[in-house]
Structure 1
Amino acid sequence: MGYLRAVAALAALVVLSACAKDVGDSDRAIQEVSYSHSSPPSLTLLTMVHNTTGAGGHSSLLINGSERVMYDPAGRFKTRAVREQGDILYGVTPAVMKRYQSFHARDTHHVVIQEIPVSAKVAEIALREAIKQGPSHDAMCAANTSAMLKRIPGFEDVGSTFSPKGLSRRFGKLEGVVETKYYENDIGQN
């Protein structure tokens, strides 16, 4: 019986690995859109929350370090202004950030934005860890974001969770987090 369980588990892993996104713009394309923002280094957790139920729908992490990127695990945001490699969106200018928020906010959902200042060193560690995390399977955004955050100095206590709302609650307890919310009333036709 144990042998059959092991074979079934291995088969499930093979099937899941085949479902991983194969996203990868070239390094040259990424360099062409690389963007550095003038604000101090920070990490910003974005959580998409259902307006009626309060349930979390998606998690992503904006990393503002030597360049500004979005770790968007299993995300669906696409625009010609950014390049993507392994769930990292490169070229996150203020206009792209506005478009990203608008893409997710609609009559049914709003975006909770939780920003925390970090050192330049911590921002670079976050970027390396996000790259190392690699592409995500669907429905793994909070799990992969929390797994990545646990490897960053000062964020170890965020813990592991599959819940975007749970991750937002834990992130919000960190000292220095500033929270804002972004709403739109359209039907998601951004």
Structure 2
Amino acid sequence: MIRILIACLLAVTVSGCAVSKRPQADQAEIVARSYQDPGPSTLTLYTMINTRTGSGAHTSLMIGASERVIFDPAGSFRADIVPVKDDVLYGITPAVERAYRSSHARETHYALVQTIEVSPQQAEVAYQLAKQSGPVAGAYCANSTSRILQQVPGFEQIDVTFFPVKLAEQFGQIPGVVTTEYREYDDADLQKGLAANNARLNQQAAGLSQ
């Protein structure tokens, strides 16, 4: 147990998995930004992996249900046009999803992206569980995500874990999961990536409003 706690604390210091201090959106803003993907219901597990060591740095879950959200437990992602309530990001349009991936992928980390098509009922269970999770403590990103997945019908075989890569390995064994890697080679500073993508989203939003 001590080894697990040490590993988790180390992960917090180098990744996007830290105590969240993001401003909390009100319900009106969440409703205004709500987005429902026109495709099938899906669950997408993101695992941010250190390119040098292969260790997991952060875990999050995109849920395509009655609206598309990202459960980003103890995450660092911020964007002016993306409302946040506890650790759920709302308004996940294709542009926001790209910005999310791009912000985390950099010289030192890449994003392992694993997607599976699910029933609307399964997606809705995950969505409701994510909203009920409340703010997640630092280093509990994989733990909280695995707990949600374990409660979704059809995903009961997922074991609760503190380790992002171990969760990704379990998720990848489920029939129907499609796995890709997303890589960028820009500055290692996560904050620079967040700022650049926030500016890009703001510019796109301004263009649409004109």
TM-score range, shorter chain: 0.7 to 0.9
For 1:1-190, what aligned pairs fall within 5 Å after superposition?
A: 24-187=24-187, 188=189, 189-190=192-193
Name the counterpart of 1:7: none
Partner amino acid for 1:184? E
Identity across matched positions, percent: 44
Local SS of the residue matching 1:111: strand
Local SS of the residue matching 2:45: strand
Does the aligned pair in 1 maintain the 2:60–2:70 contact within 8 Å? yes
Partner amino acid for 1:90? Y
Count of aligned pairs between the two proteins: 172
Partner amino acid for 2:112? V
> What is the CA–CA distance in structure 2 between the aligned matches of 1:169 and 1:149, rounded to whole Å?
14
Does the aligned pair in 1 maintain the 2:20–2:75 contact within 8 Å? no
Deviations 1:33-69 (A, max 9, x none): 0001111000000000011110000000000011100
What are structure 1's unaligned runs of at least 5 residues?
1-18
Partner amino acid for 1:182? Y
Structure 1 residues 27, 178: closer, same or farther in 2, change over 3 A?
A: same
Name the counterpart of 1:9: none
> What is the CA–CA distance in structure 1 between the aligned matches of 2:89 and 2:59, rounded to whole Å?
14
> What is the CA–CA distance in structure 2 between the aligned matches of 1:63 and 1:20, rounded to whole Å?
20
Does the aligned pair in 1 maintain the 2:30–2:90 contact within 8 Å? yes
TM-score, reference length from structure 1: 0.87
Deviations 1:139-170 (A, max 9, x none): 11000000111111011111110000010000
Partner amino acid for 1:57? A
Structure 1 residues 20, 95: closer, same or farther in 2, change over 3 A?
A: closer
Structure 1 residues 20, 96: closer, same or farther in 2, change over 3 A?
A: closer
What are structure 2's unaligned runs of at least 5 residues?
1-18, 194-210
How much has 1:23 moved relative to structure 2?
5.3
Does the aligned pair in 2 maintain the 1:21–1:137 contact within 8 Å? no
How much has 1:81 moved relative to structure 2?
1.5
Name the counterpart of 1:3: none
TM-score, reference length from structure 2: 0.79
RMSD: 1.3
> What is the CA–CA distance in structure 1 between the aligned matches of 2:31 and 2:76, rounded to whole Å?
22
Partner amino acid for 2:37? H
